[in-house]
Amino acid sequence: MEIIIKPTQAGAHEEAARILRRQIQQKPASVLGLATGSTPIGVYALLVQMHRRGELDFSRVTTFNLDEYVGLSAEHPGSYRDFMRRHLFSLVNIPPANIHFPDGSAGDVVAHCEDYEAAIARAGGIDLQLLGIGRDGHIGFNEPSSSLASRTRIKTLTPQTLKDNAKSFGSPEQVPHHVITMGVGTIMDARQCLLLATGEAKANVVAGLVEGPITADLPGSILQMHPVCRLVVDEPAAAKLRRADYYRWVYNSKPDWQRV
């Protein structure tokens, strides 16, 4: 796992956007796994700016989103499909046919989850998976105790996650209690993972993710086993990393051909 520590949240967003830009420029037909929530909003804004400057062409990109609430229509303002439409998809030239989401309105959830896995496989697998991490260590909506080999499936959200996501719904009681999410195993199948974490509220979980044991109690810790994973954090999120100075040294000492 490569740890990239930037001085500010804006700097972390810029680093993550540059990594995504390089992926798309090197492989215009990239298959991207995308995340929602407050963490990637700044990254998506930068990608939109790059597109408007002519630096990025999304016309051959295919996307698979990590998760969606069960029971919400695509038009619901709290749905992740609507989130992605507002922050990225309506602002770049990605063909609608290339956009894939878990369907929170699926009648047969089990069959739909199997179909979602099959669709990822038909697309050739995910080239780069963008991730955030919850304060309890979840990636996607794989809450603590999730199987580290899990595939796309329905999950029940924890009270903490309901509280963290309440801003989109008004109160924790109004947040849907169930979601469809890519599994931990699905995420680990991506050729590259890019996890972004910012702010002091993420300092404990970042330290556990990077320097703690691999455990289902902190699902994101499995990323220690991923062959190509970059963790981009700002200084507040890096505050409890014991080897932070070494991570900075490694990043600053990169040969030119490794730099984004």
Annotation marks residue 217 as catalytic: no
Point out the catalytic residue in the list 14, 136, 211, 235. 136
Could you give the strand order of the β-sheet that contains 99-100, starting from the edge strand earlier in sequence?
Answer: 2-6, 229-234, 192-197, 128-131, 31-34, 62-65, 99-100
Structure tokens at 237: 């999120």
- Catalytic site residue from 67, 117, 127, 234: 67
Q: Based on the residue annotation, tell me whether 115 is a catalytic residue of this protein.
A: no
What does the alpha-carbon distance between residue 131 and residue 36 come to, in Å, rounded to a whole number? 8
Beta bridge partners, 89, equal none
As given in the structure block, the two tokens for residue 86 are: 């507002």
CB 168 within 8 A of CB 183: no
Query: Is 75 marked active-site?
Result: no
* Cα(104)–Cα(74) distance, integer angstroms: 8
Q: Which of 138, 164, 189, 226 is catalytic?
A: 138
Selecting among 82, 117, 143, 189, the annotated active-site residue is 143
The dihedral built from the CA positions of residue 189, 199, 49 and 101, taken in this order, carries a sign that is positive
Catalytic residue flag (residue 87): no
- Residue 158 DSSP one-character state: P
Q: Which one-letter DSSP state was computed for residue 14?
A: H
Crossing angle between the packed helical segments 9-26 and 41-52, to the nearest 10 degrees? 50
Active site residue ranges: 67, 136, 138, 143
